[in-house]
Amino acid sequence: MSILLKITIAMVVLLYPIAIYFGLQHLEPKHLALALGALVILRALLTNNQLLKAVKGLWVVILIAGLGVSSLSYFNNTQLGLKLYPVIITASFLIVFSYSLLKPPSVIERLARLQEPDLPEEGVIYTKKVTLVWCVFFVFNILASLYTVFYTSTEIWTLYNGLISYALMGTLFLSELLYRKWLMTKQHDE
């Protein structure tokens, strides 16, 4: 897949809530639902890299759920399915991450092994804890996103799902990265 197409798909996915916000001002929900369905199918067909192979099953869950919510919006001509898509994405991550805790290796361990194939036992334990932290975050994010779907305006939904949730994910990711670097330095000094 060309780098331009990858960047375009990534930008569309990241800007999804903003695109829906502006799209709803000019189009019926069913037309946006067709675009969502096409995006979900295109993303599933073109996604084939090492990271996603490490997170087995995620894109199948997202494909099925994404087509489900786009069908809901298409056949009922409602915003509901369009607004539920970020919830579906987060729930898909929660399902895959949680399942990996029950059936190891955990998702974070798989990702860590891409860089360090001979991950020591302490690393396996640490990655399991990090996977659990991400699961807790996903639950919080699902609840907050659902709240914006059912109890707030489209503007607040867009703000949370298009900015705040990304900022929270980035904060968690950077916090864990900094903590891990600090922990490794501390262990190295001992």
For residue 75, give both structure tokens.
Answer: 């056949």
Q: Which residue has the tokens 């991450």?
A: 97
Nearest Cα neighbor of 135 from 105, 68, 90, 165 is 90
DSSP 8-class letter at 107: H
Kindly state the tokens that stand for 158.
């867009």
d(CA 163, CA 139): 18
pLDDT at 177: 87
Chain centroid offset of residue 151 CA: 22
Under the banding of pLDDT at 50, 70 and 90, the label for residue 57 is: low
pLDDT at 130 over 60: yes
pTM across the whole model? 0.86
Report d(CA 93, CA 164) in Å as an integer.
18
Flag whether pLDDT at 49 surpasses 60.
no
